[in-house]
Amino acid sequence: MLRIIVRRLLLSIPLLLVVSGITFVLESFVPGDPARSLLGVNATVQQYDALRQSLHLNEPVLQQYWLYLQGLFQGDLGKSIFTNESVLQTIAGRLPVTLSLIVGATLLASIIGIFLGVYSATRGRVSRRVVDVLSLLGIAFPGFWVALALIAVFAIALPLFPATGYVTFADSPQLWISSLVLPVVALTIGGVALIAKVTRDSMLSTLSLDYIRTLRASGVSQLSIVWRHALRNSGLAVATTIGLTLISFIPGTIFVESVFVLPGLGYALVTATNQHDIPLVQGIGLTFTAVVIVVNLLVDILYGLLNPKVRAQ
Amino acid sequence: MKKKSALLIATILAAALALTGCTAGAKSSAKADDTLVIALQSPPVSLDPAKAAVGLYVNYVDPAYASLLNRAVNGKIVAGLADKWGYNSDNTEFHATLRKGVKWADGTPITAADVVASIKYFATGSGPSSPTMAALDVSAQGDSTVVLKSKTPNPILADLLTPENLGGAIISPAGLKNPPALAEATYGAGPYVYNTKQSVSGDHYVFTPNKNYWNQSAIHYKSITIKVIANANSAVQALKSGQIDFMQGNADVAPTIKSNSDLAVLSKPSIWAGLFLLDRDGTIVPALADVRVRQALNYAVDRDAITKAVYGEYGQAVDQPQAPGFDGYSKAAEKVYTYNPAKAKKLLAEAGYAKGLTIPVNYGSFDADNTKLVQAVQEQLSVVGVTLELTAATNFGGWVGDIVSKKFAATVLSPGSGGAEFPFAQSAFMPGGIVNIFGAEDPELSAAFNALASASVADHDAAAQKVTDVAVDHALSLPIAAVNTTLMYNKKLQGLEFTKGNGVPTYVTAWTSK
Amino acid sequence: MTSLIDPTVKIAKPRVFSLGVLRQRILPTIALFAIVLITVAVYAAPLLASYDPLKQSLLHALEGPSGAHPLGTDGLGRDILSRLLWGGQPTLSGVVVAVVVFAFVGMTLGILAGYLGGVTDRVIGALLDIMLSIPSIILILAVLAIFNQNIFAAMVVLGLFAAAGLARVIRSLCLALREELFVDAARVSGLTPLRIMTRHILPSLTGQLLVQMSLFAGIALAVQTGLGFLGLGTPAPSPSWGGMVGESAQVIQQDPFFLLIAGGIIGVMSVAFGLLGDGLRDFEADRRRTAGAARPVPLRVPKSVGVAERRQDGGLPAALTVTDYSVGFATTAGPQAVVDSIGFTVQEGEIFGLVGESGSGKTVTALALLGLLPENGGVLGGEAWLGSQQISPATEQELRRVRGREIAYVSQEPMVALDPHFTIGSQLSEVVRTIGGVGRSRAAIRAKSVELLASVRLPNPQDVMRRYPHELSGGMIQRVAIAIALAGSPRLLIADEPTTALDVTVQAGILDLLRSLRDDRGMAIILVTHDLGVVADICDRAIVMRYGRIVEQGLIETIFYEPKDPYTIELIASTPNIARDIDA
């Protein structure tokens, strides 16, 4: 198992490089001149040229990328063209927000999804259909509509949660949770369906396996059969799906952060792309890629833990 | 079995935590009266006064950077950091004298030399009034007096030093030593200082009191926070739940707080909206050089209908590039262009464009009202054979880039607040004006403008109206509506009003909470 | 009565698209219908839309539904219904583009990697890794900025990166297919890899592909909604569903109906795509199952009325009494019996043989007694009594009290009989804790577990406790299974072909063990088997079954030396060593 972890970590380095390369090249084609945006309409030609020079915008793309890489290897992600703030700092400040959102939503979606999946696998046909339709409804409603509806009901009509804004954990753990409840719910809704489906399918096929029959014949309780044994066997498929769901939440943070006004990476990405703030886009891209890599790694580890045959290697 | 009970306990704990979080959250949603929280739609371009945007966005700068002069609610220029000022006889020279004992936020005293250095730096910036400052000669006279000299008569030198134009928002020598640092920290002499630790760039900006400010009684809050809320609906929710005290509104969301007794709307016409005809010399669209074509455009639009659809009760149709109640608004120019598509077609035919023409237009899709406006105009013009090819920019920088690229013959974006005729005409119609990207010149307008520049106080109004009349007669633009600036706020805010004459609301530094 | 299934008679394949099938799949059918209807309406917009989608009516903005405008007007007074119809074109075309790219790239990469293997697989694998790691949202935003809000460009990028996921799925399916016989045959007959891939492998994958495509279509649609909310994709004034969602979001508080419509159409389509995908998946699963078999329908058995009389055989109550017992399965043609009105008794401490060839109904009988038949099977009639307790008909609750404690079961395939994720000790302990009768103390449970393992003659029980099933041989696992079965000290043990999957030498040991268990504990054993040699070896009495009926029953000696039924005679004759013994 250690071998798998090490292998994946080693592979992640060229992966990050490739991703950053592709992003950089693609970004270089985005129209819009950051120097122009910074200076506004009434800048003189000299000001404009000077700024372009200092931002290295006149050099060929590969040259700019090489400069960027050099900085990267020294741990310097550059500075945002617009706020002049170090990209690393900006990301460090915003990452906890987005992570809280994504991890929270994944946890919630997993719990609900697994419960729904197990329930519909062990009950009759009607409840299965009901679960199907319910989880599909989660996909049907546009995420931001759900977000706005949640605010209207749970923040305005019933002032239970704040309508907007984010409080860091360090400032106040309770307020931190409170400010995350509605956004996490908004994000979760779309992710339950797939987890429920995969859990259900996997459970159904597991429940028809021989050893389940042995367990039933031995008098082991239904609860234990379902939750201890059958779910365990579905663990692989469910774990993979949870990993995929987490990754699929990344783009979702854009609209949730926008509606709930959370200072996260998702919405920062949209504005950075619009403003052609390449260092920041690059930084966020690398961060997201790193998140994906970590998630895949965790799923691999989970594989190993769940499957004794893999663990032995 | 053990695992199951552990899961159950964990769930109960989490629920309990969330519930305590709830009540805590609800309670602290309603905030204390000694703090002020407002919402603006975009983050600041920079905290540097030389790069800052004007209008409501001055609020990012004003708390930390007091200006030399202020404008009172009644429109008159009043003292700021300077308590004595004046012009010479022909408006070519202006002086301002610093108040005794004023200090920078770091405690060092402010000298005239400091002010000169600051203004010189400002002149190199990218704000709308920077070019004007660049054309002036600035010098210190003694320790506390600053003199501005202009080659041509300029009646608004005093205005340049007010917060609305930021020229007088002086920056300390410590700040000027390292200009890039001005983007993320403040080095001014205002009642507050920017608190980097409590702020998150792009999300919220916090200002806390400056203990070295000369007028401590003018500091009304323990902290002023400006939140960036791009989505107007989210901002309304925050306002309704008491999280913020003030927000920029628009015609879409303003009606939604009617049923809230503790919230109010303040709305006044302040800017005109419509199409700026950039290519009046006909560089890319030769037709636009012909006044008949431009007039045809003005006849082809039903201003009343468009205004109602886009702005509802928060706008009023105008056919001149100025809002009623502002400097230069001309009664004579009202109703020059009534809705008359037949006449428009006739004019186009006379000019040789009976078959129609195409005009590339850019606009900012980040502004919902402008997006609606340009579509409405597009359809109406299409009826008379004029096709607008629309290109959207998704953010301000992109919009600027599009304009500067000189690929578009017209654009949609209001230049700033309504206000004095002088700076507006200069920026839009005069050669060298920042929005006059093709450098088009209209001799009659230039003459009227110059007359305005050297007009005495008594003759000012008439001269200003003359400029507007020329602009309208020569159809130098395609105005549609005078749009209100709409503010939505919590009634406990005092001191929030529109300043007379320039349509700019008072700044946060002037407000108090009951 | 119910008709018996005779395996020699061919069952007609139920038609795949019969009305009954449609009724089962009503939701996906409705979904498909909805999708087709909306798509046709959208592309027929020139005919159906009453207004030019760009035609404004400024004085009638944001009006609700009316005669003139069935869905109301938007912010510029344009007819929402017309814009919805016209706007569907770029939206759905975008979805089509995304799905086509998705399918084409995914299938190509997947099949190439899965079928060709080797270097190709590794290279493609690395490529897929990269594609799956890049947050495609960044590239989509960049592409939208580069191509001036062109939604098609964005959809191409979306499809491209999602294809990596499809490629993975296809690849694993291909790896499995590669080993299948028909592919081997194609290879042997000299077809080129390309030919094999396109003509043979591709068609087998269409089912799974269709499922993935329809699910992805829903995603592509949702992405357009999100982009529309952000004001990206399809610039004004052209309508698109995503753009209309964005417009309606601006006025959500004044005119929520607008958002309801704009979001609603997307929602309906997303749900429809999802249901269609589900339906296709079910259809695909059924098709792959048994040839022509419909999805198993749960068996509906009429509840027996009244309490049946207990049959007395005189003397000691038998361990197991089965009377008039019928077991069957549900089919589209109604319940079909595979066991018809059989009856037998097993005495205490008796080793009873349940003999027959495959398809005779012997395993089904055994499973039915414990209520362990699959969902589509069940007892159709008759009773079974365990001593003085009725076990058939009985509720699941009643059966749970009986399983393991009174009757235990050891199944045929030891290698899959135990949960591979848990150690022997863990599984055994769990059963002991539930029904072992030694309380919940860890020590007692462990002691009993070790004792049970010892009683099935496993050398070194402590070591076995620590092992996982995959570390043990078939014979050892079978012993463990028997140990588990003994945990509750049952009166009756049903051993279903306990030695069939084992080596001959190991067989003897297991049979020996069973005999000694009977001797030591007085436990009755039902031995289900097709092997007459085994029956002759350890059974006391037996029944012979054929096509769900008993053709011979009685003492072993009687059956072997005085067989009455021709089938029995045939069976004996075809078992070499016994035949010789008997002839001798």
Bridge partners for B513 per DSSP = B493
| Mean pLDDT of the region A156-160 | 78
pLDDT at residue number C293: 44
* B302-337 per-position pLDDT tens digit: 999 999 988 888 889 999 888 887 878 888 888 899
pLDDT at residue number B177: 92
Contact yes or no for A94/A264 (Cβ under 8 A): yes
pLDDT at residue number B145: 93
Residues of chain C contacting B309 with CB distance shorter than 8 Å: 56, 58-59, 61, 75-77
C1 has a pLDDT exceeding 50: no
B454-460's contacts with Cβ under 8 Å and 24+ in sequence apart are B454/B90, B454/B91, B454/B152, B454/B153, B455/B155, B460/B155, B460/B327
Q: pLDDT class for B11, splitting at 50, 70, 90?
A: low
Q: pLDDT class for C2, splitting at 50, 70, 90?
A: very low
Q: Chain A: give the shortest CA distance to residue B206, in Å.
A: 14
Percent over 70 (pLDDT), chain C: 88
Lowest mean pLDDT among A117-121, A281-285, C279-283, C414-418: C279-283
* B373-425 per-position pLDDT tens digit: 999 999 999 999 999 999 888 776 677 778 878 889 999 865 444 456 666 67
- Mutate which of C253, C433, C445 to test chain B, going by most B C-beta atoms within 10 A? C253
Question: In this structure, what token pair is assigned to residue B219?
Answer: 């500091």
**Does any CB of chain C come closer than 8 Å to the CB of residue B254?**
no
Residues of chain B contacting A160 with CB distance shorter than 8 Å: 22, 25-26
**Does any CB of chain C come closer than 8 Å to the CB of residue A108?**
no
| Mean pLDDT of the region C312-332 | 75
Helix (H), strand (E) at residue C331:
strand C320-331
Give the pairing type, strands C524-529 and C492-496. Answer: parallel
Q: Chain B: give the shortest CA distance to residue C256, in Å.
A: 12
- How many whole angstroms separate alpha carbon A200 and alpha carbon B146? 79
Contact yes or no for A19/C130 (Cβ under 8 A): yes
Lowest mean pLDDT among A50-64, A121-135, C434-448, C529-543: A121-135
B512 has a pLDDT exceeding 80: yes
Residues of chain A contacting C474 with CB distance shorter than 8 Å: none
CB atoms within 10 A of CB C504: 8
Q: Chain C: give the shortest CA distance to residue B328, in Å.
A: 30
Residues of chain B contacting C255 with CB distance shorter than 8 Å: none
C581 has a pLDDT exceeding 80: no
Q: Chain B: give the shortest CA distance to residue C255, in Å.
A: 10
Q: Residue B249's closest CA among B260, B234, B259? A: B234
Contact yes or no for C551/C563 (Cβ under 8 A): no
B26 has a pLDDT exceeding 50: no
C10 has a pLDDT exceeding 60: no
- Per-residue exposure over C353-370, b if at least 16 CB sit within 10 Å of its own CB, e if not: bbbbeebbbbbbbbbbbb
pLDDT at residue number B94: 92
pLDDT at residue number A309: 64
**Does any CB of chain C come closer than 8 Å to the CB of residue B402?**
no
Instruction: Please list, in sequence order, all residues whose beta carbon lies within 8 angstroms of the beta carbon of residue B305, skipping any fewer than 6 positions away.
Output: B376, C58, C59
B173 has a pLDDT exceeding 70: yes
Question: In this structure, what token pair is assigned to residue C90?
Answer: 């770029």
- Selecting from A141, A208, A213 the residue whose C-beta is nearest the C-beta of C411 gives A213
Q: Do B376 and C58 touch (CB under 8 A)?
A: yes
- Selecting from A41, A148, A179 the residue whose C-beta is nearest the C-beta of B403 gives A41
Q: Do A144 and C226 touch (CB under 8 A)?
A: yes
**Does any CB of chain C come closer than 8 Å to the CB of residue A208?**
yes
Q: pLDDT class for B105, splitting at 50, 70, 90?
A: very high
- How many Cβ pairs within 8 Å bridge chains A and C? 192
**Sign of the dihedral defined by the CA atoms of residues C564, C566, C570, C571, in that order:** negative
**Does any CB of chain B come closer than 8 Å to the CB of residue A90?**
yes
In the complex, which subunits touch A with 3 or more CB pairs below 8 angstroms? Answer: B, C
* A96-114 per-position pLDDT tens digit: 999 999 999 999 999 999 9
- How many Cβ pairs within 8 Å bridge chains B and C? 63
Q: Which domains are delineated in chain B?
A: 269-484 (3.10.105.10)
Q: Chain A: give the shortest CA distance to residue B198, in Å.
A: 11
- Selecting from A39, A160, A173 the residue whose C-beta is nearest the C-beta of B126 gives A39
**Does any CB of chain B come closer than 8 Å to the CB of residue C149?**
yes
C288 has a pLDDT exceeding 70: no
Instruction: For chain A, positions 275-294, list CB contacts with chain C under 8 A.
Output: 276, 281, 284-285, 288-289, 292-293
pLDDT at residue number C317: 66
* B245-285 per-position pLDDT tens digit: 999 988 888 888 888 899 999 988 878 889 989 999 889 99
Give the pairing type, strands B493-494 and B512-513. Answer: antiparallel
C11 has a pLDDT exceeding 60: no
The chain C residue lying nearest B251, using CA atoms, is C251
**Does any CB of chain B come closer than 8 Å to the CB of residue C440?**
no
Q: 3-class SS at C320?
A: strand
Instruction: For chain A, positions 32-61, list CB contacts with chain B under 8 A.
Output: 32-34, 36-43, 47
Q: Residue A15's closest CA among C495, B181, B391, C126? A: C126
**Strand positions, DSSP E, B201-343:** 204-209, 223-228, 246-249, 263-277, 315-317
**Does any CB of chain C come closer than 8 Å to the CB of residue B383?**
no
Q: Chain C: give the shortest CA distance to residue B199, in Å.
A: 26
Instruction: For chain A, positions 137-196, list CB contacts with chain B under 8 A.
Output: 148, 151-152, 155-156, 159-166, 172-179, 181
pLDDT at residue number B194: 95
The chain A residue lying nearest C129, using CA atoms, is A15
Write down the ipTM of this complex.
0.82
pLDDT at residue number A41: 60
Residues of chain B contacting A165 with CB distance shorter than 8 Å: 227, 238, 243
- pTM, to two decimals: 0.80
Q: Chain B: give the shortest CA distance to residue A115, in Å.
A: 13
pLDDT at residue number C9: 43
Cα-flanking dihedrals φ and ψ of residue C213, to 5°? -65, -45
Instruction: For chain B, positions 120-159, list CB contacts with chain A under 8 A.
Output: 124, 126-128, 130-131
Q: Do A274 and C274 touch (CB under 8 A)?
A: no
pLDDT at residue number C298: 60
Question: In this structure, what token pair is assigned to residue B20?
Answer: 């305590």
pLDDT at residue number B405: 81
- How many whole angstroms separate alpha carbon A138 and alpha carbon B271? 44
Question: In this structure, what token pair is assigned to residue B104?
Answer: 């920078």
B23 has a pLDDT exceeding 80: no
Contact yes or no for A118/A228 (Cβ under 8 A): no
Q: How far is CA C550 from CA C357, C358, C536, in A?
A: 12, 14, 18
- How many whole angstroms separate alpha carbon A233 and alpha carbon A237? 9
* C48-100 per-position pLDDT tens digit: 888 888 888 888 888 888 888 888 888 888 999 999 999 999 999 999 999 99
Q: Chain A: give the shortest CA distance to residue C214, in Å.
A: 13
pLDDT at residue number C580: 56
Report chain A's mean pLDDT, rounded to a whole number.
Answer: 83
Q: Which domains are delineated in chain A?
A: 94-266 (1.10.3720.10)
* B283-295 per-position pLDDT tens digit: 999 999 999 999 9
Give the pairing type, strands B223-228 and B204-209. Answer: antiparallel
**Does any CB of chain C come closer than 8 Å to the CB of residue B308?**
yes
Q: Chain B: give the shortest CA distance to residue C231, in Å.
A: 7
- Mutate which of C54, C55, C58 to test chain B, going by most B C-beta atoms within 10 A? C58
- How many whole angstroms separate alpha carbon A42 and alpha carbon A35? 12
- How many whole angstroms separate alpha carbon C364 and alpha carbon B253? 70
Q: Residue C385's closest CA among C447, C290, C319, C451? A: C319
